[in-house]
Structures are given as structure tokens and as C-alpha cells.
Structure 1
Amino acid sequence: MKGSKPRNVLPGFGLSLGFTLFYLSIIVLIPLAAVFFKTAELSWSEFWSTVTNARVLASYRVSFTTAFLAGLVNAVFGLLIAWVLVRYRFPGKKLIDSLVDLPFALPTAVAGIALTAIYAPNGWIGSILEPLGVKVAYSPIGITIALIFIGLPFVVRTVQPVLQDMEKETEEAAVMLGAYRLRTFWKVVLPELMPALLTGFALAFARGIGEYGSVVFISGNMPLKTEITPLLIMTKLEQYDYAGATAIALVLLVVSFLMLLLINILQWRMNRRTVSD
């Protein structure tokens, strides 16, 4: 009929939004709400004494510090790896590109055992570092290395498509106008990559906070020193202290959400500035 609005093959906005909200509620919102409801069984004094316990605070410090440091390292070297894979051609490029995804496919427990075997005092690398006074396994350094291993693909796979879509003519024009290549990278290339780089960092950071399998072996699990928060939550669950476990998890969830929200705001502002320029 003339003038009638054409019908879409896919469902309309209302139906799509309904399915989206239903799916998110079942998969994300309801499980998260259960954390809040279970924690509500504790009084405020019980909740506060649980989450401010010295052992709990130490686990937060270990988890957040190592995840943040691993995210920073991955942001730098993930950008470098993505740059090499996109901008250069060399023998074995496809093999290296495939190896980037190995932490996704490898069971985290296998990764943890392998890293512990390598960096233990009697391991291949640990035996070299031990006489130098560098202890990797059973220390925060080992935890950071494990989180770097599992978080690297997030940065590489986030930055790589943006690099592939970037127009080289802009860089060439900047060089022809007299800008040094390093200056071109800082002023032209990096601002375009920064939103994707922040996203990769946020994903690696969030994965690192909740990582358990690859860390539990190499950390040594020493309370107040190398004990991570996910392990402490598991310990609470094994003791049937479900309210205490959810209280610790709630703090971890809130702090993680605030960090991700801050990163998303920075990303939004950078995108807005790029569009306005």
C-alpha cells in the first residue's frame, strides 16, 4: 500500500527490547540481585566487621593492585603486539596471531600450573631469578604475571580492529607536514586508539579481579600476603558462611563497577572530543 511504512524482517524495537531486558535479567541482574539479598541477612555491624577484617582488606589490596598493574602492562604490550600484527608482514604472522587467543582456550588451572612450574624456585626461569633475590612464584609478582597472561588477548583483540580501520593517509599527511613519526604517533594515532585501549584495559582489569584458576596455584595463598579475594570467597563458601562470602563479593562488585564506570566516562569524553575535533 502506498505511503505505508515498510515492515522490517527482524522484530521491532519493542519486541527486541523486551527480549534484551528478559535475557539480561535472567543472566545478569537476578544473580547480582541475589548477592544483595543474601548480604542483607547481615546487620550493618556484622557486614562492616566482615568486609573490614584485616585478612579481607589484605585480599582486596592484592587483587586490585595486581589486576591494575597487569592491566597497565597489557595496555602497553597489547598495543605493541596489535601494532606489529596489523602494520607488518613477516613469516609466522598467522601463528603469532593465533597464539594471542591461547589464554582464551587454555583452561585457567592448566595455565596456573604451567606458570607455577616455570617460575617456581626450581623452575626454568625461577631457578635463574632465585639466586638474584627475585621471587616470582608465591608472591604478588607471580600473581601479576598470571593476570598478564590471561588478560593480554582482551587488549590485543580490542585495539587490533581499530588499527585495521585507521586511514594511513592521515599519518602520511602529518609526516609530510613535518611532524616526526613519534610526534605523529602521540598526536594522531594514539588519540584514535585511546578509547579502544581503555576498553581493553577495563576488560583485562575486570577479568583480573575475578580470576581464580590461574592465580590460585602461583599465589601460594598466604593470608595477609598473597591471598586473593576470590580464594577468600571460596573459603567462606566452604565454611558455609554464605552471607560473609556474598558480603565480600558485594564490595568487590561495587568497587569493580565504579572503576568500570569511571573508565567508560573517560572513554565517552574522549570519543566526544574526537568527534568535536
Structure 2
Amino acid sequence: MAQVNRRILPGFGISLGFTLMYLTVLVGIPLLACVVRVSSMAPSEFWNVVWNDPRVRSAYLLTFGASFVAALISVVIGLLIGWVLVRYEFPGKRFFDALVDLPFALPTAVAGLVFSNLYVPTGFLGQFLTPLGIELSYSRPGIVLVLVFIGFPFVVRTVQPVLESLDAETEEAAAALGANRWQTFCKVIFPSILPALVTGFALAFARALGEYGSVVFISGNLPFKTEIAPVLVVEQLEAFRYQAATAIALVLLIASFATLVIINWLERRSRRFEDGR
């Protein structure tokens, strides 16, 4: 009697077909539509829209710069929060752990509105910060602040499982050999969590590139000062310049995708290096 080779997951063909259909309808076709619309533009026209305009270049610089800075800050904050949630027990731990996911569930427009009301000169916090010269409303630091708010949960949720899976015996062995806490963290813990930190950085950076709702209220949208690229996309749509809006959006899309590809490549290289050691 012939032996039947059973797969681990039954109905694999149906599942794969559904997955491909989902990716095609919800991801592939919309992306292809963007490319098709932009392809109708002449190369010179496309270049004029996405680069020759000084206002667009200024928006790119602010968008990428603020996203990069916010992602770096998110890595630090996310690592600290993940470390505390994993390594310590304290009252209200479950509540604070659930609170990390609030930026995922909260509409970003609501977050932007709350932050802008807090940090305006007459706001609850702004009335104390503005006399000290700290202006977060309608400023670039305010943009970074809201991007950190939406980005740090990605870092927490990527690094938290890795911290939970670390073997305590390795740290105990390092301590027995004379390593202090800082040496143990740098030589034992950090190399193990580095791929997760890199992944969290990439997710936070890519998320910040396309953020609109939380930034539009607190930035003030001043051209050449606090205007980000997603705001330009919306303005182009409101002016019925659909090709220009799609071209700018395509640049952001390519940048986000390239970031994820590069980070995934670096993560694989890091894992191979650790396996080789």
C-alpha cells in the first residue's frame, strides 16, 4: 500500500491560492495602478514633479530626516520599555503592556489633535514649555515627537519576544567569568537582540515615511519649514493633479520598500555572522 505523504497543514493549495489572491487584490493591483498612472508621464515631467520643485525637495528632506531621527529614538525607547516589561515585575504591568499597543488602535488624527492641543503655547504642557524656549507645536521637533509615538510600539513588539527567549544561564556564566552588567549587556545580550532592533527600526522608519494624520495637526504644514511629503500628496489630490500626487507617493513607496529590503538583508547577514561565530 502506497504511503500517503500528509502535509502539516491541510488544504495547503487552497490556503496558498487565497493568500495569493489577497496579495494580488489588496496589494499588487493598487501598486500596479500607481505605476501605470505614473508611466503615462514623460520622464522630464516626472522628474520636475518629484525633484525639481524646491518645495518638494524640502518636504522630502523633512520627511526622511524626521522619520530617521524618530526611528532612532523609537529604538532607544522601545528597548527600554521592552526590557522593563520583560525583566521586572511591578503593579500594573499588564496595563502598561497593553498601553504600548494604544498607538496601533488609536486613530492617528486623534493623536495629532491631542498632541497639538497639549503643546500649543496655551496648552496644558505648552504653557510651561514655551517660556523655556521649547516649542513643539507647529515645529519640526513636534513632528519627531508624534512619529516616535506611532513608531516605538514596533520596536517594543519586535524586541520583547527576543528578550523573553534569552537564556539566563548565559548571563550567569558571563557574570561568573567576571563580567559586569554593562559588559554582559554589550557582549551577550545586545548581539542577540540586534536583529530585532534593526527590524523594529525599519518598521518604525517605514511607518513614519507615510504618516499623515498625526503630523498634519501638529506641524502647521508651513512650506519649506514643517510641510511633509504626504501633505503634498493630499494637496495635489485636492487640486485634481492626480499624476503629480501619484508620482510623489510612488517615491515614498519605493523608499519604504527599499528600506525594508536593505534592513532584511542586513538582518540575514547579522544572523549568518552570529551562526558562524
What corresponds to 1:37 in structure 2?
Answer: 36
CA positional deviation for 1:224: 1.0
RMSD in angstroms over aligned alpha carbons?
1.4
Which residue is equivalent to 1:226? 226
Q: Distance in 2 between matches of 1:130 and 1:139?
A: 12
**2:57 — aligned with what?**
57
In structure 1, what is the equivalent of residue 117 of structure 2? Answer: 117
The C-alpha deviation readout for 1:183-238, integer Å capped at 9, x for no partner, is 11011101110111111111111111111111100000001110111111000001
Equivalent position amino acid for 1:251 in 2: V
Kindly state the Cα deviation for residue 40 of structure 1 after the two structures are TM-superposed: 1.2
- How high is the sequence identity, in percent, across the aligned residues? 55
Q: Amino acid of the residue matched to residue 243 of structure 1?
A: Q
Q: Which residue of 1 aligns with 2:26?
A: 27
Check if 1:129 corresponds to 2:140. no
Question: What letter is aligned with 2:91?
Answer: P
Residue 179 (structure 1) aligns with: 179
Q: Tell me which moved more, 215-224 or 254-263.
A: 254-263
Q: 2:138 corresponds to which residue?
A: 138
Q: 1:2, CA displacement in angstroms?
A: 4.8
Give runs of aligned pairs for residues 97-116 of structure 1, distance below 5 A: 97-116=97-116
Residue 70 of structure 2 is matched in structure 1 by: 70
Which residue identity does 1:211 align to in structure 2?
Answer: E
**TM-score scaled by structure 1?**
0.95
The aligned amino acid for 2:46 is: F
* Separation in 2, partners of 1:115, 1:93: 25
d(CA) in 1 for partners of 2:80 and 2:73? 11
Corresponding residue of 2:217? 217
The 1-side partners of 2:215 and 2:221 are apart by 9
What residue is the counterpart of 1:166 in the other structure?
166
Q: State the Cα distance separating 1:15 from its structure 2 match.
A: 4.7
The alignment covers a number of residue pairs equal to 276
For 1:154 and 1:115, the matched residues in 2 are separated by: 20
Alignment partner, residue 148 of structure 2: 148
Report how far residue 140 of structure 1 moved. Answer: 0.7
Gaps of 5+ in 1: none
Gap change, CA 1:56 and 1:172, over 3 Å in 2? same
Change (3 A) 1:188 1:2: same
CA distance in 2, matches of 1:255, 1:97: 31
* Distance (whole Å) between structure 1 residues aligned to residue 29 and residue 2 of structure 2: 46
Question: 2 CA distance for matches of 1:3 and 1:62?
Answer: 62
Q: Which runs of 5+ in 2 are unaligned?
A: none
Q: 3-state SS of the aligned residue for 1:5? A: coil
In structure 1, how many angstroms separate the alpha carbons of the residues matched to 2:228 and 2:258? Answer: 20
Q: Quote the offset at 1:11 in angstroms.
A: 2.1
Distance, in Å, in 2 between the alignment partners of 1:60 and 1:113 is 23
Q: Give the TM-score normalised by the residue count of structure 2.
A: 0.95
Tell me how far apart the structure 2 counterparts of residues 59 and 137 of structure 1 sit (CA, whole Å): 18
| Cα distance between partner residues in 1 of 2:39 and 2:2 | 59
| Whole-angstrom CA distance in 2 between matches of 1:100 and 1:198 | 19
